[in-house]
Amino acid sequence: MLMTITELRAKIKSGRPTVGAWLQLPSPDVAEIIGRSGYDWAAVDMEHGAMSRNVLPDLFRALECGSTLPFVRVAEAGRENIKAALDSGARGLILPMIETAEQLELAMAWAHYPPKGCRGVGYCRANEHGRRFDEYLAESADIFMVAQIEHTKAVDNLEDILALPGLDAIMVGPYDLSGSMGITGQLNHPAMAEAMNRIAALAKHADVPMGTHVVVPDPAELNARIREGYLFLAYGIDAVFMNMAAPCPKY
């Protein structure tokens, strides 16, 4: 049975981590395999993945077959991208390159119908093309919102970002953050450690869950991140799962 966003929030609030997966391949078959693999949610990556809007409904249906919540990491936190993801049936949004509270507030407005926001109203796949219009209007108030912190500007403005009502979690993009600091890819650099410590301290003070992505699947690393206090965790990428299992054995 598909978890509700209310149940997902309650799980995190109780201190239990939520673990999802990451999809970059536009394949409903792959999405169904991931959806039936026990994850709470899976994020369809429209920023770096080979995704277009027309494949979203099939990917979401495939995930829901396995009781996995469909999330989307939009290509950019703009009106068109957010509306397309939600109209297709996304239950959560991961918003890249959030740098200010004003930017996040506007993205949240685009994600919600009036009077809470300014999302365009119409028949779409999310409301079964009008069949569940009234029911979806009520359900759509519950969108899981994640802001990606990926620039030094975001770190400078983080207290204001974390103070916005409706923010469910933040997720650091370490490679982009390091790039904005002029140390691209140097994730063990002292400046990166200082930035990460500041982000974690501010998030803890604001009582906003921290998220991270264990890109290369490793149960030991996943458990280590959980012990560090991360509560919103992405695990692996569909293509990385395949890369790790695909090499021909030596014979």
Are 157 and 100 a contacting pair, CB within 8 Å?
A: yes
Enumerate the active-site residues.
48
Asked if 31 contacts 13 with a C-beta cutoff of 8 angstroms, the reply is no
Spatial separation of the C-alpha atoms in residues 89 and 136, rounded to whole Å: 10
Burial class (CB in 10 A: 0-12, 13-18, 19+), 245: exposed
207: its two tokens: 């009582």
The phi and psi torsions of 92 (rounded to 5 degrees) equal -150, 150
Please provide residue 126's backbone torsions phi and psi, each rounded to the nearest 5 degrees.
Answer: -60, -35
